[in-house]
């Protein structure tokens, strides 16, 4: 079996020695080519080349951003659901690794590699649905507003040399909350063919559950959403501190409620549209894509085949 291993050497939890061990283990069972990314977009370029070259297996070793790049690169060379596309595999190497953990992969890269090799030898594969925000694919979540502001600020601090930790995310989320709480609601949400709902502060879109992780703790924003359903959405009408803290507590306990006076929560939706009175940040899979005034979110079932 021909395989391409796309490695992000800058990923949070990877080391040169660890990458060599993983590559050696994979090469013992597979005809393996290794690509170490050197620039933003290199993982996407490598994935596109792997599809065009007829690779059987495409392995992403890095964080969720690397996985996102690989998936987007694949779909520049093939169509969702194409039976001839390479099977996707993930060996976690980042800090959150939401997509890999949602698939049930071990967090430890060595354990995940052994699990992957067993999956390949036993032919264990499944098709999973993905989301699309305009022309950008996402594997587990996207959002406009609060979460995108947090992602942008964490990326800025990381570029300044700060270590990315759950505590950093929590502090940044709190600071962004206080800035947003002083702002008028700017977001309108349309679900399917329903009339738009105005007066929203933030819109969180999920392709699976958990929505993300805070360290080892899952954040379950939309528990009825998974890779076999449509998209879930959670939107805030109010930034009242008590209301927001109650929602956060419910998510951390895994008891997110389907209805609330100060929020909107829906699951298994095929189409969402978010419009903003002024441009707000958009994030997908933990990467900030800049500011947008209008974003369409689409669920694409059975988009990619994954070794699990």
Q: What's residue 271's pLDDT?
A: 98
Q: Identify which of 72, 28, 58, 295 has the alpha carbon closest to the alpha carbon of residue 188.
A: 295
For the chain, how far is it from start to end, CA to CA, in angstroms? 16
- Number of other residues whose CB lies within 10 A of the CB of residue 76: 12
Q: What is the dihedral of CA 23, 26, 31, 32, to 10 degrees?
A: -30
Q: What's residue 19's pLDDT?
A: 87
pTM: 0.93
Full set of structural domains in the chain with CATH: 2-123 (3.40.50.10330), 138-307 (2.60.200.40)
Identify any residues that bridge with 128 across adjacent strands, giving them in sequence order: 304
Query: Mean pLDDT per 10-residue run, the chain (308 residues)?
Result: 94 82 94 95 97 98 96 97 97 93 94 95 97 98 96 91 87 93 95 96 96 89 94 95 88 69 92 98 96 98 97
Burial tier of 200 (Cβ tally within 10 Å: 0-12, 13-18, 19+): buried
Q: What's residue 161's pLDDT?
A: 85
């Amino acid at each position: 079996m021909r395989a391409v291993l796309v490695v992000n050497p800058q990923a949070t939890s990877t080391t040169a020695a660890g990458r060599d061990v993983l590559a050696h283990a994979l090469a013992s069972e597979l005809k393996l080519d290794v690509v170490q990314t050197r620039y933003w977009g290199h993982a996407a370029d490598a994935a596109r080349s792997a599809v065009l070259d007829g690779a059987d297996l495409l392995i992403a070793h890095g964080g969720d951003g690397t996985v996102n790049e690989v998936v987007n690169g694949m779909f520049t060379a093939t169509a969702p659901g194409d039976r001839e596309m390479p099977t996707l595999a993930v060996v976690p190497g980042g800090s959150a690794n939401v997509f890999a953990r949602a698939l049930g992969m071990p967090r430890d890269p060595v354990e995940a590699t052994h699990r992957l090799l067993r999956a390949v030898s036993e032919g264990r594969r499944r098709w999973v649905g993905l989301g699309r925000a305009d022309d950008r694919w996402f594997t587990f979540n996207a959002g406009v507003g609060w979460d995108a502001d947090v992602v942008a600020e964490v990326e800025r601090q990381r570029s300044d040399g700060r270590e990315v930790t759950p505590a950093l995310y929590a502090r940044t989320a709190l600071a962004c909350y206080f800035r947003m709480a002083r702002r008028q609601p700017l977001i309108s949400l349309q679900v399917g063919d329903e009339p738009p709902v105005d007066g929203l502060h933030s819109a969180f879109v999920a392709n699976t559950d958990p929505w993300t992780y805070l360290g080892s703790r899952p954040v379950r924003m939309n528990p009825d959403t998974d890779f076999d359903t449509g998209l879930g959405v959670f939107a805030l009408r109010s930034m009242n501190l008590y209301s927001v803290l109650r929602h956060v507590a419910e998510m951390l306990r895994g008891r997110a409620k389907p209805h609330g006076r100060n929020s909107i929560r829906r699951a298994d939706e095929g189409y969402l549209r978010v419009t903003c009175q002024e441009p707000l940040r958009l994030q997908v899979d933990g990467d900030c894509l800049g500011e947008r005034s209008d974003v369409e979110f689409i669920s694409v079932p059975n988009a990619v085949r994954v070794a699990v």
